[in-house]
């Protein structure tokens, strides 16, 4: 069953997309959409179970591979993808009822959603570094149609900016991929093995250090563009703010991590070839710069979705900072923060979807009295904002505190002081957002009451995850994270 899971995982979203495209009947497509994402979520849990049992899964002559690192990403694609897909049903029905889209548009959305899932799954399980690069590039094409979904001028601009910047950025990642392959082939004299990450990491000590340094720089610039690292992050606020809210949740919660985990794969090779100092220094610098730039943009944004998008840039910087301080604790904190951010940001984009449906605007200056207008959504939104700001008792506080502790333990005192000050700026900006939107007198002409249960249940479940992981880390998840740390450090 193990090898078959690696085949079924990409086959399910691809098959779902093809079925939805062929049928084009909205109600039937909704059923197919729900069935497809449910099967994908189940397969993701089965993959995690197989990996936790000690299996190293391979398929298609080693081109697909699953270890603890890929299992984390597949878990996010399956679980977060399922909850966002469920939320999409209510969200699309609302847009259809209010004339934002027609029935053909609804079915197109589901087709693109599953194509997007397909490309992310491939990027997560690729053992062949060329296929991994192609899959990350394909995520751009798969999700660009979701970014420009509404056919507004700003949506089209956001989609084109997204495609152009990420495609140019990923050209650098292609150079890094070619350099790594050339480096490995000169030693192995085997074209197939020189492409496989498992072989590269096994033979890493025999690779040329100077060429690997250059390759890592290209990889960091290239995949860092797609991940949203400064200064290559400029596409992200436009793309995330213009996409439908459930697509924004998937972009922020999962897509950014696909590119970041590609960096992690090369990071694992590079630390064995040239030592830890070079890649960690680069990641620490880029991580802190990313947090710093994002912090001030979060402070000045009025558009809620753009504010959340810049918050995503900040948290990508936090993950990179954890990798930069290094050590088992820093890497563990990065992986945990990846999960925590995916859950919390998906919750926030879904609640923002409900807010936009109710108020008809994303401008925080025009949103008042949410607690009286839509109390359940307001409370969950407020909890999500407090969580993403890094406050206890929620999950993000735990991983941010681990990152700070790892940095201090590794001797990065002044960088961690700067890191803490930047987090305070973000905290202030997000508390202001709560005070402006949740409280105060609402407009009298707004109807009271939350949206239907289909749009409330997904972020209710996400809230349980968000609060639960702030209080307790389940043993299977802890084991998965520890295993991922061992994979990166080469001790497994």
Give how many domains the chain has, as a whole number: 1
Average pLDDT, the chain: 89
Query: Is residue 57, in this structure, part of any structural domain at all?
Result: no
Q: Is 337 among the domain residues?
A: yes
What domain range is 472 assigned to?
276-492
Residue 243's pLDDT band (boundaries 50, 70, 90)? confident
- 44, 77 Cβ separation under 8 angstroms: yes
pLDDT exceeds cutoff 80 at 424 = yes
In angstroms, rounded to a whole number, what is the distance separating the alpha carbons of residues 368 and 307?
17
297 is a domain residue: yes
Residue 243: HSE in the Cβ half-sphere, 13 Å Cα cutoff = 31
- pTM of the complete model: 0.94
Continuous segment of H or E residues that includes residue 310 = helix 304-325
Q: Which helix (H) or strand (E) holds 234?
A: none
Q: Over 80: is that where the pLDDT of 491 sits?
A: no
The pLDDT of residue 278 is above 90: yes
Distances (CA, A) of 151 to 97, 155, 244: 18, 6, 11
Does residue 311 belong to any structural domain of this protein?
yes
- The verdict on whether omega for the bond into residue 223 sits within 30 degrees of 0, i.e. cis, is no
Assigned domain for 373 exists: yes
* Nearest by Cα to 173 from 148, 136, 210: 136
Confidence (pLDDT) at 235: 86
Distance CA 214, CA 201 (A): 17
Residue 300 lies in a domain: yes
CA separation for the pair 26, 381 (Å, rounded): 30
Does 362 reside within a domain? yes
pLDDT digits (tens, 9 = 90+) for 398-419: 999 999 999 999 889 999 999 9
* Contact partners, residue 358, CB within 8 Å, separation at least 6: 373, 374, 377, 446, 447, 451
Q: Look at residue 397 and give its three-state secondary structure.
A: helix
Residue 104 within any structural domain of the chain: no
Tens digit of each residue's pLDDT (9 = 90 or more) over 388-398:
998 888 999 99
What's residue 484's pLDDT? 94
């Amino acid at each position: 069953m193990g090898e078959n899971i690696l085949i079924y995982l990409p086959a399910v979203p691809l098959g779902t997309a093809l079925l939805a495209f062929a049928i084009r009947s909205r109600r039937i497509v909704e059923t197919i959409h729900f069935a497809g994402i449910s099967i994908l979520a189940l397969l993701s849990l089965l993959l995690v179970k197989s990996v936790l049992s000690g299996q190293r899964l391979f398929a298609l002559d080693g081109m697909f591979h699953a270890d603890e690192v890929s299992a984390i990403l597949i878990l996010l694609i399956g679980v977060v993808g399922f909850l966002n897909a469920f939320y999409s049903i209510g969200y699309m029905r609302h847009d259809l009822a209010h004339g934002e889209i027609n029935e053909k548009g609804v079915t197109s959305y589901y087709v693109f959603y599953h194509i997007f899932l397909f490309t992310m799954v491939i990027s997560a399980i690729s053992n062949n570094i060329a296929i991994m690069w192609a899959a990350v590039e394909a995520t751009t094409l798969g999700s660009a149609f979701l970014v420009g979904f509404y056919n507004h001028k700003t949506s089209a601009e956001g989609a084109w900016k997204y495609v152009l910047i990420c495609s140019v950025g990923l050209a650098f990642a292609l150079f890094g991929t070619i350099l790594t392959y050339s480096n490995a082939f000169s030693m192995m004299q085997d074209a197939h093995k020189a492409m496989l990450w498992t072989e590269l990491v096994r033979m890493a000590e025999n690779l040329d250090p100077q060429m690997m340094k250059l390759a890592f720089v290209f990889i960091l610039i290239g995949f860092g563009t797609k991940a949203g690292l400064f200064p290559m992050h400029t596409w992200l606020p436009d793309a995330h703010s213009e996409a439908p809210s459930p697509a924004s949740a998937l972009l922020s919660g999962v897509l950014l991590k696909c590119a970041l985990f590609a960096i992690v794969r090369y990071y694992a090779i590079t630390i064995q070839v040239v030592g830890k100092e070079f890649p960690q220094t680069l990641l620490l610098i880029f991580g802190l710069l990313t947090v710093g730039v994002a912090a001030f943009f979060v402070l000045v944004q009025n558009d809620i979705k753009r504010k959340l998008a810049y918050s995503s840039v900040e948290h990508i910087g936090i993950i990179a900072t954890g990798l930069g301080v290094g050590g088992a604790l820093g890497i563990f904190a990065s992986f945990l923060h990846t999960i925590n951010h995916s859950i919390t940001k998906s919750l926030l984009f879904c609640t923002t979807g409900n807010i936009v449906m109710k108020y008809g605007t994303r401008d925080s200056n025009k949103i008042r009295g949410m607690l009286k207008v839509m109390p359940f959504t307001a409370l969950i939104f407020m909890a999500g904002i407090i969580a993403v700001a890094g406050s206890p008792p929620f999950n993000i506080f735990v991983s941010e505190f681990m990152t700070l502790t790892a940095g201090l333990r590794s001797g990065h005192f002044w960088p961690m002081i700067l890191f803490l000050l930047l987090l305070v700026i973000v905290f202030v900006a997000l508390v202001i957002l709560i005070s402006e939107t949740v409280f105060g007198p609402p407009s009298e002409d707004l109807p009271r009451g939350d949206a239907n249960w289909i749009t409330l249940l997904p972020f209710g479940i996400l809230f349980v995850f968000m609060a639960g992981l702030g209080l307790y880390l389940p043993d299977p998840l802890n084991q998965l994270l520890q295993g991922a740390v061992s994979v990166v450090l080469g001790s497994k």
